Structure 1
Amino acid sequence: MFIRELFGRGRPVISFEIFPPRGGVPVEEVYRTLGAIKDLAPDFVSVTYGAGGSTRDATLEIASTVKNRFGLEVMAHCTGLCHTPPEVHEMVEDLMYEGVHNLLAMRGDPPRDRHVPEGPSFPHGSDLIGYLRRAFGDEVCIAAAAYPEGHVEARDMEEDLAFLKLKVDMGAELLITQLFFDNEIFYRFLESIGRLGIRVPVCAGIFPVLNARQVERIVSLCGVSFPPKFTRMVARYADDPASLAEAGVAYATEQIVDLLAFGVDGIHIYTMNRPDTTRRIMNNIGLVSRRAVAGSGD
């Protein structure tokens, strides 16, 4: 199934993101995560792609397993910065051979240990999206990344929104946002893209913060802002990891409840391969039983 077909059914699309193992962690750990969340019945699972293609084989294997062993719809990340058109074409053909036709197309990040080629074939996400649409037409469903507070490399929000519009014009059919912690910023973002004529579905990216180290990493990589309520939470429990994890789950739950009340198209939970956290959030927002009932009539 193309993920674009999941929207407009009268309920929000719920998706989970997992990532291939790093640092010698066996791939079976990812499969244990999948086994632990399968019964939560996400509408789809996305599988990330390491910087510079460092997890290409693992991404392909895991995406195939999600689809063919666990019976869940899957979206594979596809990056272009360190790849040539023939390499991208081969990668997508391999995915399609395994039954994976949904792609999240992004520029990608350069790896620390690999030089980015001078004059890369896909310097921007829009370049990769355009290539995929020309090469594969309607054989693939293409999603794009969106940044409610702007990409860290953009000069300003206006420039970032212009690039986002270009992604959609080149063929992106839905958007998945970077994590954010202030829903009001997300709502203003929706208003802004609406004024630009962007009408594709948008999935709101939610990241449950479980420890102070994650906060430091978010600041260094993403440039997102923290509302006072979030800052107070982190300061209050910085020296109490267990309490901070509990508060982080509660904060993510409150975000999602508010987003659902607003009527968002979808919720995309960054699981960090922590099935227990994902399950607690889903139970908190009451989607497990509700979706099970809804699914019984499909």
Structure 2
Amino acid sequence: MTPPADSYGLGPRHRTSLFAESVKDVRISFEFFPPKTEAMERTLWESIKTLEPLDPAFVSVTYGAGGSTRERTHNTVKRILTDTALKPAAHLTCVNATREEVDAVIRDYKEAGVNHIVALRGDPPEGARKYEAHPGGYANAAELVAGIRAIGDFEISVGAYPEKHPDSPTLAADLDNLKRKIDAGATRAITQFFFDSEQYFRFLDHCQSYGIDVPIVPGILPVTNFKSLKGFAGACGASVPAWLGELFEGLDERPQTRALVAATVAGELCRRLYAGGVRDFHFYTLNRAELTFAVCHMLGHRAPLQQGATA
């Protein structure tokens, strides 16, 4: 005798797979970091070429702490412009530079045809305990956004923190700061990574209560190394659930298994967000294309079939 569906204690939400819903309207974007070596450069461009067919809305290129990768960031952004069909977004910070120096970078991007900047306060330089504004520089991200807006009609993305920035004393103070960035001219916010969809939706509610009405795009980090993840999380104020650590326990020497677990975790998170109405997703790729490609595939965002290919 076949038992009725509810005899297993499964409610209506759980009787259908998260992956059953057809997805046609997702918009994605990717974040890369500039390479330090020739080998890393090859990996970066292989990753870019692998993900390019997914037709992202934009791809962003990070800045190192203290502006340490400034030249590499600029070179990577400009090469994306010339060698691909992608739309690059350049990260820009306030750290270790005067307003005049930062403004010169903004104008250089404008002349090169870069129309999207990710404006961030930036992390303290290596060895510094806390962030301090550079004398004569932009004091914070809100000031930087206003400076960018004064120079050109850029698309401007800023950071958002579902669990608050580590330097903010309270979530309310952090939301006040985000509101200042939006009021200064930012057009979207991209969140720090998280692993609980409800955490993101609660954050959306908080943003709405503060009158923040720009898109709040969830930042998705497919986990490649759990030890490194804990370091990232500590630096940005993100919590790592105990269940995630248990999933990766014993897999230090099994990179392929780690990748399978990582894709499953991130794919499920994206599908839960989609079921809640999210249509824009930003992926922190760590320059690892296959894992991000797999998560996009699980989300339902596919590269178009090549001519002559079969489904």
TM-score range (shorter-chain normalised) is 0.7 to 0.9
**TM-score, normalised with respect to structure 1:** 0.87
**CA, structure 1 residues 292+113, in 2 after alignment: closer, same or farther (shift >3 Å)?**
farther
C-alpha displacement at 1:71, in angstroms? 0.8
- Tell which structure's C-alpha radius of gyration is larger: 2
Greater shift after overlay, 239-248 or 172-181?
A: 239-248
For the pair 1:131 / 2:144, whether they are aligned, the reply is no
Listed as ranges, the gaps of 5+ residues in structure 1 are: 1-9, 294-298
**Contact 2:197 2:269 survives alignment (8 Å):** yes
For the pair 1:154 / 2:168, whether they are aligned, the reply is yes
For the pair 1:255 / 2:269, whether they are aligned, the reply is yes
What is the aligned partner in structure 2 of residue 181 from structure 1?
A: 195
Deviations 1:189-235 (A, max 9, x none): 00000011111011100001122222231233122112343233133
User: Partners in 2 of 1:273 and 1:55 — Cα distance?
Assistant: 15
**CA, structure 1 residues 18+228, in 2 after alignment: closer, same or farther (shift >3 Å)?**
same
The residue identity in structure 2 corresponding to 1:55 is T
User: Partners in 2 of 1:102 and 1:118 — Cα distance?
Assistant: 24
User: Partners in 2 of 1:24 and 1:72 — Cα distance?
Assistant: 22
**Contact 2:99 2:136 survives alignment (8 Å):** no
What is the aligned partner in structure 2 of residue 111 from structure 1?
A: 125
What is the aligned partner in structure 1 of residue 293 from structure 2?
A: 279
User: Partners in 1 of 2:57 and 2:285 — Cα distance?
Assistant: 14
C-alpha displacement at 1:286, in angstroms? 2.1
**Contact 1:202 1:264 survives alignment (8 Å):** no
SS of the residue corresponding to residue 213 of structure 2 reads coil
For the pair 1:141 / 2:151, whether they are aligned, the reply is no
**CA, structure 1 residues 141+87, in 2 after alignment: closer, same or farther (shift >3 Å)?**
same
RMSD (CA atoms): 2.3
The residue identity in structure 1 corresponding to 2:154 is V
1:1-298 counterparts in 2 under 5 A? 11-22=25-36, 25=39, 27-112=41-126, 119=135, 121-136=137-152, 139-235=153-249, 237=251, 240-289=254-303
- Which has the larger helix fraction? 1
User: Partners in 1 of 2:272 and 2:253 — Cα distance?
Assistant: 28
Listed as ranges, the gaps of 5+ residues in structure 2 are: 1-23, 307-311
**CA, structure 1 residues 84+148, in 2 after alignment: closer, same or farther (shift >3 Å)?**
same
Greater shift after overlay, 261-270 or 183-192?
A: 261-270
Q: How many residues align?
A: 281
C-alpha displacement at 1:242, in angstroms? 3.4
Deviations 1:144-173 (A, max 9, x none): 100011001110111101100111011111
User: Partners in 2 of 1:120 and 1:231 — Cα distance?
Assistant: 44
**TM-score, normalised with respect to structure 2:** 0.83
